[in-house]
A = this chain, B = another copy of it.
Amino acid sequence: MKIEYTLLKEEKNTRARLGKIKTNYGIFETPMFMPVGTQATVKTLSPEELKECDAGIILANTYHLWLRPGEDVIDHAGGLHKFMNWDGPILTDSGGFQVFSLAKPKDITEEGVKFKNQYNGDSLILTPEKSIEIQNKLDSDIAMSFDECVGFPHTRKYVEESVERTLRWAKRGKDVFNNPRQSLFGIVQGAEFEDLRKHCVEELVKMDFDGYSIGGTSVGEPKDVQYQMVEYACKYLPKDKVRYLMGVGDPIDIVENVIRGVDIFDCVSPTRLARHGHALTKYGKINLKNAKYKEDFTPISSECNCYACKHYTKSYIKHLINAEETFGARLLSIHNIYYLINLTKELREAIKNDNILEYREEFIKNYYGEKEN
């Protein structure tokens, strides 16, 4: 069965939406933050810990799983859910972002992207058809069309050509798509140009995808440009389909983009920040390596209900991070993922109460009000 998106409510004063998504592996409400399990594991966490963080859906990376262990191994295991012991929904990306950002040198042609395998140097090509074939085998709940993610800055001319290629690639992928349990999303490109975003949305909608992603963000653009890009995409996207903003996980960006009409988000930031000793809190990001936490026997946040905050102190987590013990990164990953999912939960509440603008004001006051490091 394909996913079913239901728009439950629109916030009175903004474009923020409350929705729910029904999948073969359970129902979850939107807005929702999606933890990233790059290599079929959300770094340092067990599936049970993800459930405890109320993760409604997770993301896995097609590029990484294609190279290791290979989509056939996962297919033979019975698909990604069984392979990694995760019985909740999974979204896979197309591999596009990774071949553009990780694999070098690369060569973009009409056929696809040629690059070297980072592990063994083999020449590889990722095409729209190949990306879909891999994702069909991975058997995720939601697959992404293969697109070109244009960097920032760029010329309008390049973006114009790139949007057309992305549309041709979306069509090619849709034509070979062959997994009745899976949904396929089209990806809206067009950078900061309203007419190009509008054009891209209109052409994708003609192809009738199961949902739409907003791409071309998190590539180095200023925040106001990102919000503009999202506004231009959401303005034209159909209301009855889910909208996924790719690679965005900064707390304020989640707030701002929910207000602009985004439903789901993903980002590696909560686990990456954790490995560097950082924790997200209502009052901003704190760095547990800071000497002042040496004998701080209070939790990261006294208001937080995550496993790390219920049982461990800043002093202990600081010690684990200093000692390079992975349990430290695990505790911080749990906390940061819980924080972002809880943020989307609070945003859902604000949509219900039609007070999301007040929520944003309060959020900014707390988050940027007092700087800690």
A45 is contacted by which of B45, B295, B322, B327 (Cβ under 8 Å)? B327
Question: Given A319-B39, A320-B41, are A327 and B295 also a contact pair (CB < 8 Å)?
Answer: no
Given the complex of chains A and B, what is the CA–CA distance between A73 and B78 in angstroms?
49
Q: Does A68 contact B (CB under 8 A)?
A: yes
Question: Given A73-B315, A312-B85, A316-B83, are A326 and B326 also a contact pair (CB < 8 Å)?
Answer: yes
Q: Which B residues are in CB contact (< 8 Å) with A295?
A: 73, 76-77
Q: Mark A75-118, 1 if CB is under 8 A from B, else 0.
A: 01110000111000000000000000000000000000000000
Q: Mark A20-58, 1 if CB is under 8 A from B, else 0.
A: 000000000000000000011101111000000000000
Q: Which residues in window 209-246 of A have CB below 8 A to B? A: none
A322 is contacted by which of B68, B294, B316 (Cβ under 8 Å)? B68
Give the interface size class of chain A. 35 or more
Q: Mark A310-337, 1 if CB is under 8 A from B, else 0.
A: 0111011011101101111110000000
Copies of this protein in the complex: 2
Q: Does A368 contact B (CB under 8 A)?
A: no
Q: Which B residues are in CB contact (< 8 Å) with A327?
A: 41, 43-46
Establish whether residues A325 and B73, one from each chain, have CB atoms under 8 Å apart when the complex forms: no
Q: Among A41, A64, A297, A328, which residue has the most Cβ atoms of chain B within 10 A?
A: A41
A76 nearest in chain B by CB position: B295
Establish whether residues B325 and A69, one from each chain, have CB atoms under 8 Å apart when the complex forms: no
**What's the nearest-Cβ distance from chain B to residue A297, in Å?**
6
Establish whether residues A319 and B85, one from each chain, have CB atoms under 8 Å apart when the complex forms: no
Q: Which B residues are in CB contact (< 8 Å) with A326?
A: 43-44, 326, 329-330
Q: Among A318, A327, A329, which residue has the most Cβ atoms of chain B within 10 A?
A: A327
Q: Which B residues are in CB contact (< 8 Å) with A294?
A: 69, 73
Q: Which B residues are in CB contact (< 8 Å) with A319?
A: 39-40, 68-69, 73
Question: Given A40-B319, A83-B315, A325-B41, are A297 and B77 also a contact pair (CB < 8 Å)?
Answer: yes
A44 nearest in chain B by CB position: B326
Q: Which B residues are in CB contact (< 8 Å) with A77?
A: 295, 297, 313, 315-316
Given contacts A73-B319, A77-B295, 12 further A-B contacts (CB under 8 A): A39-B319, A41-B320, A41-B323, A41-B328, A44-B326, A44-B327, A44-B330, A68-B322, A69-B294, A69-B315, A85-B311, A326-B330
List the 3 shortest-distance A-B pairs measured between CB atoms, nearest first: A69-B319, A39-B323, A41-B327
A-to-B contact residues, CB < 8 Å:
39-41, 43-46, 64, 68-69, 73, 76-78, 83-85, 294-295, 297, 311-313, 315-316, 318-320, 322-323, 325-330
- 5 CB contacts below 8 A, A to B, read A41-B323, A41-B328, A43-B325, A69-B318, A77-B316
